[in-house]
Amino acid sequence: MQIARETLLRSYRAMRTIRDFEERLHVEFATGEIPGFVHLYCGEEASGVGVCANLTDQDTIASTHRGHGHCIAKGVEVAGMMAEIYGRRTGVCQGKGGSMHIADLSRGMLGANGIVGGGPPLICGAALSHKTLKNGAVAVAFYGDGASNEGSTLESLNLATVWRLPAVFVLEDNGYGEATGASYACAGSQKARAEGFGMPYLECDGTDFFAVHQAAGEAIAHARAGNGPAMLHVRLARWYGHFEGDAMTYRASGEVAAARADHDCLTIFRTRVTQAGLLDGTELDDIDSAVRDEIESAVIAAKQAPLPEAADLLADVYVRY
């Protein structure tokens, strides 16, 4: 499938933005200035971006605790995200949610999620809205290999088929749920799970934007056409610990270095598009430097932004009370 030039440029920019955003957070977190838990998406950029390149603002996604990448891929504004992570009033959630709860419903982003397996049921609901309202939109749940074992996830696979929902389940399999390997925790096969619930199963290399874009495109087209849900199994590696501060003693030394060296989605993308003459190296360089500036100013702005005010504590528990 031919991918439009703007899509390629936008996707590269999104992947680069996620990378720089996360690498910067890794550095900033170590200074102790960032409160709470932070889970980085480094190394997994092509998945969120490859999937979301097939979506519009009308489509809905639900994310996970490792949500920054999905947010950026779905178009959530970077400065507002950074401010949120710093707990500032200018954050996308006014400093009330933090890293694990970034959401922007105007972008069809139904939220990162602190509860593993929290997203798939919500996505059934979003898909039900789209189906009932006949708006042509689809709903996509990102969930991890760990989350694939939650009852809420498995029940959602069933419900989505029973109700023939325009839902896509994107299983981001980075091989670990916290410090436990997927080979220990996941029984049977994900393919058999999809088939057992009566939905098509697709699989792809999550470090190759083109592979993700292609496979996600098929899964999303299937759902959008009214054929019911599909599962996309994306294989990835995460480059940092489960959360910032995790020493990763459960991973072989060299595992991350090898992923960085041989499976960097940005390098793979650059080689592919320049060799095929789709984009020019200098265009990518320009994006790199623009993103560097954007992240730098997002961090500076976040650090200087005002803190929430006392009255904010009581606001927005309800619409009306």
Identity of the residue, 9 or 182, whose beta carbon is nearer to another protein in the bound complex: 182
**32, 106, 132, 184: which one contacts another protein (CB under 8 A)?**
184
> Which partner from the list another protein, ligand TPP, Mg ion, none does 133 bind, CB cut-off 5 to 8 Å by kind?
none
Q: Is 99 near ligand TPP (CB under 6 A)?
A: no
Q: Is 192 near another protein (CB under 8 A)?
A: no
Could you tell me if 108 and 62 are in contact, meaning their C-beta atoms sit under 8 angstroms apart? no
Please state, in angstroms and rounded to a whole number, the distance separating the CA atoms of residues 184 and 47: 23
Please state, in angstroms and rounded to a whole number, the distance separating the CA atoms of residues 94 and 84: 7
Identity of the residue, 86 or 176, whose beta carbon is nearer to ligand TPP in the bound complex: 176
Please state, in angstroms and rounded to a whole number, the distance separating the CA atoms of residues 78 and 84: 10
Stretch that binds another protein, among 23-31, 97-105, 212-220, 289-297 (CB under 8 A): 97-105
Residue 187: Cβ-neighbour burial (10 angstroms; 0-12, 13-18, 19+): exposed
Number of residues that bind ligand TPP (CB under 6 A): 16
For 126, the token pair is 């979003």
**27, 30, 115, 307: which one contacts ligand TPP (CB under 6 A)?**
115
Among 192, 268, 267, 270, CA closest to 231 = 192
Q: Is 169 near another protein (CB under 8 A)?
A: no
Length of the chain: 321
Identity of the residue, 121 or 146, whose beta carbon is nearer to ligand TPP in the bound complex: 146
Q: Is 50 near another protein (CB under 8 A)?
A: no
Residue 257: Cβ-neighbour burial (10 angstroms; 0-12, 13-18, 19+): exposed
**3, 9, 128, 182: which one contacts another protein (CB under 8 A)?**
182
List of residues contacting ligand TPP (CB under 6 A):
64-66, 114-117, 144-147, 174, 176-178, 242
